[in-house]
Structures are given as structure tokens and as C-alpha cells.
Structure 1
Amino acid sequence: MKNASLVWSCCAALVLSACGDNPPAPITVTGKVFGDSLQAVSKASILIPGNGRQPVAVDGSGAFSISGVTPPYDVIVADKERRVATVFMGLTLETLTVPLELDTDAAQPDPEHEATVEGTVTGEQPSSAIATTNLLFASTGGDMSGSVEPSGTYSLNVDWSGATSATGTIYALQSESSSPGSLPTRYLAFGQRDNVTVSKDATLPAQDIALSPVTNSRLAGNYIVPEGYALSLSTLSLAFKPGSEFSLGFAFASSGAFDYAVPQIPQTTFSILAFAIPRDAQGAEGTLLFKRGLTAGTTNVSVEIQASARPAQPADAAKDVTRTTEFSWSPFAGGVHVLTLQEDKSKNQTPYTVTLYTSGTQTTLPDLSAFGMDLPANTEFTWKIQGFGPAASMDALIGLVEHGNPLEQGTGDISVSTSETRTFTTAATP
């Protein structure tokens, strides 16, 4: 009888453990797709694989809605005409805004409009060393920098995209340094002119700026780089508002302590961008930290750079790669990973390009046959892996990128790494 009770207890435990939690209920996923300059993408299609679903086209505003989705799910955004696809793996969000392409290494598109602003800067302070007065025009359409002539006059070329006019602020900062391009050793004066509106192809004169003396302070701390890495370069910038960075100069230094002179200007912060490379780096490999929101007078800043995500498999110049070939890499601490592959050479068409976002460290190539974008056979590709963070999950990543490239649009710290570029060749039947 005791044995029967024991058997029953064990069976009941097995049944209960097999039942587990209830599976997540299906949801409707809605969202938008954007491209360069946050413009809506109207020619893309969306697929959330599963349940026999087929790609659906976004509407004219880039919007989509897909019902009956059980999280976690993957999202594939593709433009067959351009042969471009982006994959986001392991999402649970009901609403999301995703980019068709988001390359933190890519050059920005050419601006659509340009204008010229002219004026005179007064109130510059006498200096016994190398002194310069630099300018920044900051607007929602973009930032442009320039400098003031020794006579005190300036002519600043401004360009932007979007509407044919743009309104911004011109900032002027006078400083002195030991050599051009190096970080200032002292700040002398500051001024600004608000509500400056420029129009396409026009010259706006008489935009004079009066400077006032500024108080100097310190920004100090330590650079911390991973073992086997060396700090290559760092930059210090003055931030008037999110996305508007006034570059103060460059520092070429090893890891360790730093102590910079900074100006005390109300309602401003500072940012440091530090770039490190592995001592055994192959090609354009490196990792950076963009640390924001620093205040004048802080002396315990920690600029800790993460080790790069680095490719493992397949080996460089691998042959006969198929959709089942495993791609793997080392983890990027506190972030997600971005696998990018691109056709090395294409005849009379744009190169076949796939970007895949995942929190994992291995994957296979996505099935894009539903879009009419089968993996080309006998074709050479390049591939690389990037780390991107901080992002505790793929859902968190969407929050970072939904307003565009967070290196330009965000307000928090951002870490990015880029690996060496490898090649592979697809099989005859990939």
C-alpha cells in the first residue's frame, strides 16, 4: 500500500510538472518601419514567422498590424527591390517601431538644404596662448560647426534635411589650448544667440553674438579598458541638449586617470567618447563607450569600455555555407548582438544584405524565401558582428533604436563594438 501511494505521488508530480505555466496568449503586434532620417518606409514587407503566415506590406506611413502572434516572436522586415532585410529575434512587445536599416558605422546621407549665417562675435577675452572661438549651430535638422575669424566676424555654412527652413541656436565658445585640435587648457568666454531661422539657399546676416567670461572647472576620472585592449582615442564634448554636441577636442592617451579642464555653463553637460582596440586586432575592429550626462566638477568618472563581440564560426573564407550553417561569436556584456552579412559583389543590382539582431551568441541565416529573397548560390559574402548596449533584452533594444541611431539621438550611455570582417561563400544549393 505504501508502494502504491509512492507511485501515485510520483506520477502526480510528473503530471503537474509537465503542465507548467499556461502558455502566453496570442497578441496583435502593431508598429511602424522607418529608414534614413527617421522617414517612414512605405515599400517594405513584414513577416512574423509561424502559423503559416505570409509577409504583409506596410502602408504608406510604414505601419503594420499582425494578429495571432504568440510571444516570444521574430520579426523580419524586407525590401525585395533593394534586396535588404533586417531580423529582430526574441521580441515580446505588442507595439514596436523598427528600422529597416540601422548601421552605426554608416555615413549619414547628404543633407537636402543649405544656407549661410553671418555675424560678429564680441566680448572675446585676451589670451596669452593659442586661443580660438568656435561655433555650433544646433537645430532639430542637424548641427554644424565653424569658427570665428581673428577679426571677430564669422560666416557659418549650415545644412539640414526636411523642411526648407530650420530654427536653431548658435553657440560660441572661446578657449585656449597648447596645440590645434587638442583639449583646451582653459576656457575664456561663452555666448549664444537663440531663435536663428535659416532658409534654403539664403544668407542670414547680422547674427551677432556677445560673449561673457566663464568659470573653469574640472572633469576627472579613469579610463578602464578590457584586458588585451589599448585605448586608442577619446573625445570630450559639451552638450547643450540631447543630440547637440559641441566638440571640445581629442585626447590620445592610454588607459588610466584623466583630468580635463571644462567650462561651467548653466544647463549643460559633458560627454566622453572613448575608443579602444584589441592588441591583436584584425582590420577595423574596436569597441567604444559614449558616456553622457557628466557635470562640471565631477572627479570620479568611470569610463569602462566593454570587450568586443568577436566572430567564432564559420572561419574566415569558409566555403559551402548554407542556411543551416551556424554563425557564432563571443558575447557583448550587457548588450545584444548585430550580425551583418552583405554580398561582396553584385552585378547591376544592390548587394544582398541581411542584418540580424539577437541577444544570443549563435544563429543560422534567416529564411527569406517568402519575400522572394532566397540566399544566392555560389556567392561570396562579407560578415561581421557588432555589440550594442546597454540592452538587457531585445525588447530593450527596440526602446533604444525606435528614435533612430542612439549615438546621435539618445540621451543615455551607449556601447558599441565592431568586429573584423570575414568572408564566406555560399554552396551551390544554400
Structure 2
Amino acid sequence: MDKKRTATLVAVIALIATLGATTAAGYASANKYKMYLDYNYKRALGDLSASVSNMETTLNKSIYANTATQQNGLAAKLMRESSMAKSALSVLPITDHSLDNVSKFVTQVGDFAMTMSTKISAGQKISDSEYKTMQSLGNYAKTLQSGLQNVKTDIESDKLTDEFKKTAQDFTNFPQLIYDGPFSDHISQMKPKMTEGREEIPQGNAQNIAANFLAVTADKLAHTQDTEGNLPTYNFTANNGTIRICITKRGGFVCTFDNMREVNAENIDYKEASKRAESFLSARGITNMKQTYYVMNDGVCTINYAYYKNDIIYYPDLIKVSVALDNGEIVRFNSTGYIMNHHDRTVQAKISANQAQGSVSKKLKIESRRLALIPTPGLSEVLCYEFSCTGQNDERVMVYINATTGFEEQILILLQSDDGILVK
């Protein structure tokens, strides 16, 4: 064998050895990564199991807690365990919707606990129905914990997803919870107050209402698929489908309107947009509305209006009007909040404005005050004194003091910029 062939053979052998080493290193790296994932999944499953077990125990204890101190302590623990369970769920390799009910359950436990804590802190008592809810939640926590034990035994195999789906099936009949919290099922069950007792109108009448609202003739509109659910509507399109308008079947109220045209310029400012929106509402007989917040985005200024009467602003009764900044045309209208919430109310403050002001932090400078009906997280309503204040860093702060109890209901910080007012 000559030197050239020998050198070539040595090079080939070296290359094979290098590729072999690289492949081996790749396999080792892949195995190491798989071990890392398995470890993370095991830890997340263990954390989830521990949190659910603690939730079950705490819920069982909560049934017997009889003092505000103990009840608040248990509520805090439930919120903490719920948060930890949600974090653990987010790590597990489940990409479909099989765990939606499990996630909903974990979320509702934490939110229910927060609602109870707020109630207890306000000096109120837990009701018999709320105690029953605790017992129901505890039973389902026990069911979930049992299912998680079955998943735990199969985590070494590829059955994790299947076992989780089996566990999730036990939650298909998860009971609906009715309580005052943002994840309460009663929110999706709410019926629009404005359409209660109203007769269903014919589709032709709805088309005429839509045409009058758009200031066009009825033949310019095409009837499309209707919307059912809690707020049934007749739906129509115009201008080759770029305009869509929805009319409630009961009562014939304009619910939403969208003009999906492009806005490529900004020729008017917020003040002019506000004038256009006011004129639009006035021309359609929509009165007693007071502007609250606005935001400007993608050439469109969206302004929020709340119902205002007898010096009280009703924030749940919301209408949104969007103005195109190129020519001032109204391109969106949404009165869903108004239709869902507006009704005749009798509200009265039980404490004076001066008494309520005593609950506002001394670190805030009060600029103005008025009565306001605000929605709670669960979409019930509470009458408050609204105090518009300036904070220590010149930020604008809104403080809402319950007009019956004198407790703080809500604190909002407003961020104002050229693009509008944001709330956090």
C-alpha cells in the first residue's frame, strides 16, 4: 500500500471515528435532554398533586372555620395553592384542550377564595350556600387528586397525555359555581336586561332598523346567518361584506356595527373625533351618555360612554364608538354592555360623601368626587363614591368607596398619553 492510499485510509477512519463520536454525543445530549424534560414533568406533576391535595384539605377545614381571622387565613392558602397548581399545569406537555375543565376548576377555587376573603374583610358572613360550594369544591379536589395518582404511576411511559385525558373526563360534569368572581359561570349565563319582556321582531323589521341606523335603504343590506345564545341577533352585511350590523331579535336594538375598511391617514385629532361621536349618538336618539375613557390605535379613536343620570354615572351601561381619523366617519359601534346591563334602578347612598372621603388615603390629593355605579368582578353592581385623585408621583388615581359600607371597592391608576387613557 503506497503512502497516498495509506493517508486516505487514515483520513477515512478518522472521519468515521469523528462521526461516530459526534453521533454518540448527539444521542447522549438527546438522552440528557429527555431526562431533563422527564424530570421537569415529574416535578410539575408532583407540584400539581401536592397543591390539589392541599386545596382539598384547606377546603375541608374552611367548612368548620368560624372566625374572620381563620377564614381569611384559609382563603389566602387556597389562593396560593391555586396559583401554584396553575403554574404546574402550564409546564405539563398537554397541547390540546383536554385539561380545560381541570384548569377552570383550579382557577375557580382561587377566585372563589378571593371573593370570600373580600367578603370576610368587609365584615360579612359566609352564607349557607357558600359553605355548600366549599364542600362541592372539596369533593372535586378529592376526585382530581385521585386521578393524578393514576397519572403519576405512568409518567415513565408515553401514556402521560392519555392518562391526563382520562383524569379530565371526571370533570366533564363539573358543577357550575354561582358567586361574585370574574370566573363565575353566572357571567356566561347572564341575560340582557334591556330585552327582558320584549317581543321578538320579524327579520324584515330588523333590516329596516339596521338601514335607518346606517342611513341607507333596506335593499342595500343582505341578511346573513343569525347569532343565537344569550343575546340572539339578526345579522346583516352591506358594501360587499365590509360592513356588518347586528340587531337584537327581541326589542330590535342595534347591538354592534363594524365598517372594516382600511384607515391609512390621521387627519383629525381626538377633540374632533369626540365631536363626531357625540353627533352620531345624538342623531340616533342615544342620550344621557357621558364620555369616560378613549384610546387611539391604527388610525381609529375608540371612545367609551357610560349612562349618566341624576349626577350618577353607571359604568356597566357601556357604549363604545369608534371614529376613523382620516375623515371622521364612524366605523364601529358596540352597545352590548348597555343592552346587557341597562335597566331602571333605584340606588341610594347610605353614607355621605364626607364620610366616604375619610376612607381615601391621605397620600392622595382629591380633585373631585361623584357617585358611580361600578361592576364588581362578577358583574353584579355596587354604588360607590368615585374620587378622582392625584398621587405622589402626579399620577391620576381613581378610588371607589362603597357608598353603603365605606370600604374601598376599587383603586385604578390612569395612564394618559397621546394615544388615550389606559387603566391599570
- TM bin (shorter chain): under 0.3
Give the alignment's TM-score, normalised by structure 1.
0.24
Higher strand share: 1
Which of the pair has the greater relative contact order for Cα pairs under 8 Å at 6+ separation? Answer: 1
TM-score of the two chains, using structure 2 as the length reference? 0.24
Q: Which has the larger radius of gyration?
A: 2
